[in-house]
Amino acid sequence: MTTTVGIDLVTAVVRYLASQPSVVEWLGSSAGSPWIFADELHVDPSTQADKAAVVVRQHGGWTTPNVHNSAQFPRLHVELYALDKMDCHGTWTFVDHFLHRPEGDDQMWSSLRTIGCARLMEPQVERVRDSQLWRLWCQYGVVIG
């Protein structure tokens, strides 16, 4: 989905989180790039102990479209993968700190202007089938304008 400012939500979130040192320090990296991916996991997080990987994707909308202006209301789906359940929770704490803004202040995610972002659910944690990895996932309602 292309937003009104020319950058898609997923790319903006990946860039925004990658610019936050307190998020990046929890993540593994390859060739100097933190493990923050758009749409699907591209690494095996079990290769770096005590580190996590983040996957971000858009998952529909969270409310009906606005008929009065160009505001958009996409649902953001965030997943974290790690060998240790506590690494998932620790990483999520920092990711959530930068995404969850229920007070609705304006914030730039890369070149995308967001008006607000609220966590829509409590994080869910589960063991990845046929794997040693844990997966934590959560969804956010984003307001773009």
Calculate the average pLDDT of the chain. 88
Which tens digit of pLDDT belongs to each residue from 28-40?
A: 999 999 999 999 9
Calculated CA dihedral for residues 7, 80, 119, 21, nearest 10 degrees: -70
Quick check: is 1 in a domain?
no
Which tens digit of pLDDT belongs to each residue from 68-109?
A: 656 678 899 999 999 998 888 889 999 999 999 988 789 999
* pLDDT reading at 128 higher than 70: yes
How many independent structural domains does the chain possess?
1
Q: Quote the domain boundaries for residue 29.
A: 9-144
Quick check: is 55 in a domain?
yes
At residue 3, the pLDDT reads 39
Going by their DSSP bridges, the two strands 29-30 and 33-34 should be labelled as: antiparallel
Quick check: is 114 in a domain?
yes
At residue 134, the pLDDT reads 95
Alpha helices (H) in the chain, listed in sequence order: 9-18, 21-24, 85-99
Q: Please tell me the distance from the alpha carbon of residue 16 to that of residue 133, in angstroms, as a whole number.
A: 25
Q: Please tell me the distance from the alpha carbon of residue 75 to that of residue 53, in angstroms, as a whole number.
A: 20
DSSP 23-51: HHTTB-EETTEESEEESS--S-GGGSTT-
pTM of the model: 0.88
Q: CATH code at 132?
A: 3.30.2000
At residue 2, the pLDDT reads 39
